[in-house]
Structure 1
Amino acid sequence: MNVCRNIKPLFNFDPPVTEEEIQSASLQFVRKISGFNKPSKANEEAFYGAVEEVSAAVRQLLNALVTNAEPKNREVEAARARERNAKRFGSV
């Protein structure tokens, strides 16, 4: 399954996910499934309406999820991702 590489996990982080991160992930998801980076005027309402609906679903999901795991530290996870990318794509 091809997953959007720009969409990052949002659950169980310290500090918690922001509204901006939810909106960004939702926008990336709608872009991916619609095939539009930016919709035409004719599709703008449907496109941005879908972004809002996906955002609402993500908020609902994140609020409903539970875990006993310690929250992940954003800085540590970002460093790990940079390390993985350096190994995969070489140092930039």
Structure 2
Amino acid sequence: MPNSESFLLYSLMGFILGAASVIYSYSDWPFSKQIVIHFLIMVVTILPLLLIWQIYFTGHAHFTKVLASFLKVGFIFIIITVILKKTGKMR
């Protein structure tokens, strides 16, 4: 895996994740709306990047595998976020 391409992709993903996290600063939005909008932004931005990354580095993409991994990680993060929110460890 080439280092410069990986660095560029990770940087782009980090930027998108950081920019999308601004959604959680809208305190007048319900928490459920924040999660749904954040997830939709991830589907539109991060999921295609993951597919492009897999095609670039392996020559092909297994959409179902990438989608399953994406949903699994997303679900885990949603659960962690909800737990932290309920315990008061997250604003």
- TM-score for both structures, normalised by structure 1: 0.47
* Greater length-normalized contact order (CA 8 Å, ≥ 6 residues apart): 1
In terms of fraction of residues, the more helix-rich structure is 2
- TM-score for both structures, normalised by structure 2: 0.48
